[in-house]
Structure 1
Amino acid sequence: MYAIVEIAGKQFKVAKDQYIYAPKLEGEAGSAVSFDKVLLVDNGGSIDIGVPVLSGVAVAGKIVEHVKGNKVLVFKKKRRKGYAVKNGHRQQFTKVQIESIG
């Protein structure tokens, strides 16, 4: 059984007891979260598709921890001008464990 759920404008395919890295969510580690924008549910071959979302279906999860992603380097340069700027960025994510679908 799996579901496709929208979290902060991004779509994730989730299953029970799976860990996902979603964009940073409000809440502390150990707190429960619920995602109600479920777009699709597959229950053993029986597929339910929402238009655009399924009503009465939610995905429950638990926040495990808040983490940072890998560093992305941003390098700007203009040739023959002596201009070079190097910046780095680390996106913040929330590690969520999916507890139930339905």
Structure 2
Amino acid sequence: MTTYAIIDIAGKQLWVEPKRYYSVNKINVEIGKKIALQRILLLSKIGEKIKIGQPFLNGISINAIILRHFLAPKVIVYKMQPKKKTRRKRGHRQHLTSFLINDF
């Protein structure tokens, strides 16, 4: 059993572990800046009882470092109406932020 937590960040819930990298929708924070994640839904440490928030845990934070902002791979959306000569091709690249979880 490992140490892990379930956090709420940028509109998503992630299962995170220490010393791992994660990517979420863009967070408006400078690169290299440390952030404290406060919205923790569940926390499990080795040798301790699992803590479950209702909805969040109070007084606990997880430290992370913002590594980079980047664009996700392009997603192509192609719409076509048969027999109408109507075709539309669009692409979209989502802005993402990568961060490293330091410790709990």
Structure 1-normalised TM-score?
A: 0.94
SS in 1 for 2:29: coil
Q: What is the CA–CA distance in structure 2 between the aligned matches of 1:8 and 1:96, rounded to whole Å?
A: 12
Q: Structure 2: how far apart are the matches of 1:34 and 1:84?
A: 47
The count of residues paired between Structure 1 and Structure 2 equals 101
**1:1-102 equivalence runs, <5 A:** 1-44=3-46, 46-101=49-104
Alignment TM-score, normalising by the size of structure 2: 0.93
| Percent of pairs with identical residues | 36
Deviation above 3 Å: which 4+ runs of structure 1?
none
Unaligned runs of 5+ in 1: none
RMSD, matched Cα: 0.9
